[in-house]
Amino acid sequence: MTVISFSIGAPFAYGDMGAGADIGTGMDVLDAALLIAQEVPGGVPALAQRMGVSANTLQHKLNPNNKTHKLTLDEALAMQQISGLPFVLHAMAAAMA
């Protein structure tokens, strides 16, 4: 009996998160913002600290079930600038196409 196996590296199997990735395409803009927060080392608390905002408030703004707190455009821009991840930009551009 011959056993053949192969493996696929994580970036190719789960989507390349590198500079050429268009991860936000087809994604809701709030989902894209939440993904940024999840990708930043330290998550929402670390991102909020670098943004100069409350981690609790930012978490509420990233919660799609919360109707009282909304992420502003300035905050979405700051998240992308701090993280280097343009996911919200890509989601917005895809929504315009």
What is the residue whose two structure tokens read 């930009």? 89
Go through the chain and tell me how many residues it has. 97
Quick one: which of 35, 56, 48 has its CA closest to 78? Answer: 48
Residue type, 81: Q
Q: Given pLDDT bands bounded at 50, 70 and 90, which one contains residue 8?
A: very low
Q: What is the CA radius of gyration of the chain?
A: 16
Q: What digits encode the pLDDT tens for the residues 28-80?
A: 999 999 999 999 999 999 999 999 999 999 999 999 999 999 999 999 999 99
Does the pLDDT value for residue 10 go beyond 70? Answer: no
Q: What is this structure's pTM? A: 0.74
In this prediction, residue 24 carries a pLDDT of 60
81, 45 contact by CB (below 8 A)? no
